[in-house]
Structure 1
Amino acid sequence: MSEIRYERLSGAALERALPELARLRIEVFSDFPYLYEGSQAYEERYLRTYAETAGSVIIGALDGDQLVGAATALPLAAEPEELRRPVAEAGYDVARVFYFGESVLQKAWRGRGIGVAFFREREAWARGQGGFTHACFCGVVRAEDDPRRPPGHVPLDAFWRKRGFEKLEGALGTISWRDQGEEAETAKPMQFWIKRLAGG
């Protein structure tokens, strides 16, 4: 494996990367805890909308010309009400909070610091936008006794805390998607985590 480079994907570079970005999301989110049943067409539409939002960023991790991972971020104010409301109700000014969407990375590249770099790059982007005091994200909540939980599954809580994020107790949003084996989308509870940005 060679050295990874990071690139902010936009314009023609983003357009070229959309199919691979969509494939990565479907691959990574099919695993527990997301168990996502996605489609290529839906993912490409989702990512294009994300990319066209003012202030948003998609950061690609590339091995040469091969996209092996990506992370997204945008102002929380651009997200739907079901994601804005829990943060507002916790006492934060939504207009000053940056939302980290997702990080997806091929399994072969995990454990090499790329996830850490994704947080670093998105925080740098958020600070560069001006006026943002906090960054947040949310993670799906699954029951401890969920029969689909793999043996030895370790939540990412410790990793997130090392990045300086803390669980925003009581702040639960919802995102709907179709689990593997489901006939239709259902709303999933999403726990928010938050961090004060340096200088914010």
Structure 2
Amino acid sequence: MTEVRVLTGTALDAALEDVARLRITVFRDWPYLYDGSLEYERDYLQTYRDSPGAILVGAFDGARLVGASTGTPMEDHADDLGAALADCGVPLASIFYCAESVLLPAWRGQGLGHAFFDAREAHARALGRSHVAFCSVKRPDDHPMRPAEYRSNDAFWAKRGYAPLPGAMASFSWRDLGEREETRKPLQFWMRAL
């Protein structure tokens, strides 16, 4: 039986090494194609150690972390992503940012994605946030590594009340599988009011 637990503070900090490994494993797949390292992950995840408003929602099979979803107040990511939301009509201080959701394939389709969003949205409300946003990587439909059976999460997100924000695009760099250098990837913001 998979158990979903909300982790903050020292419990969140203690789980971040496992989150790093999950990110590397899950994000190797389409559409991320991420060729990550533990060193990079440790640096990236420092935001969650530093933010008193951070949340980690973990899916555990016994003691094993099989899925994780994170979030912080949007201003914790303002340097990287804030400019993309400058014209959205909502102040950054009113937005909670849902960062990653990573779940190993054997545990997908069991409602854990909804549990991840439910917990992060409840946390955002508790922090007094009026909106929740996240971004998703955009890859060309004709990308040579796109699997024929790939289904995007767009319908799932729309059913939860999220919609893409027109013109709200950010970019982030990482090294794709098989590449030698990092390249910038476009990220589409989605948002909903709570």
Same-fold status (TM-score > 0.5): yes
1:179 aligns with one of 155, 171, 176:
176
Cα contact 1:10–1:58 (8 A) shared by 2: no
- Measure, in 1, the Cα distance between the counterparts of 2:43 and 2:84: 26
Residue by residue over 1:101-141, the C-alpha shift from the partner in whole angstroms, topping out at 9 and shown as x without a partner, is 000111110000001100000000000012x1100000000
Contiguous gaps of at least 5 residues in structure 2: none
Q: Within 5 A, what are the aligned runs for 1:103-114?
A: 103-114=101-112
Q: Distance in 1 between matches of 2:12 and 2:53?
A: 15
Deviation, structure 1 residue 154: 0.9
Can you list the C-alpha shifts for 1:20-71, whole angstroms capped at 9, x where unaligned? Answer: 2111000100001000010112212322332321311111111221111110
Residue 192 of structure 1 is matched in structure 2 by: 189
Q: Give the CA RMSD over aligned residues.
A: 1.4
Q: 2:135 aligns to what?
A: 138
Match of 2:59 in 1: 61
Counterpart amino acid of residue 9 in structure 2: S
Give the equivalent residue in structure 2 for 1:39.
Answer: 37
Name the % identity.
48
Q: Distance in 1 between matches of 2:112 and 2:159?
A: 14
TM-score (norm 1): 0.92
Distance 1:9 1:65, change over 3 A: farther
1:125 aligns with 2:105: no
Q: Deviation at 1:171?
A: 0.9
Cα distance change, pair 3–177 in 1 and its aligned pair in 2 (3 A): closer
Partner of residue 7, structure 1:
6
Normalization by structure 2: what TM-score?
0.94
Q: Which amino acid aligns with 1:155?
A: S
Q: State the partner residue of 2:156.
A: 159
* 2:113 partner amino acid: G
Amino acid at match of 1:157: D
Offset at residue 82 of structure 1 (A): 4.2
Residues in 2 aligned to 1:49 and 1:189: alpha-carbon distance in whole angstroms: 21
Cα separation, partners in 2 of 1:60 and 1:145, compared to 1, 3 Å: same
Q: Contact (CA 8 Å) 2:67, 2:103: kept in 1 or not?
A: yes
**In 2, Cα distance between the equivalents of 1:95 and 1:3?**
34
Cα offset for 1:188? 0.7
Correspondence for 2:96 among 76, 98, 103: 98
The 2-side partners of 1:29 and 1:140 are apart by 11
Q: For residues 18 and 80 of structure 2, what CA distance do their matches in structure 1 show?
A: 28
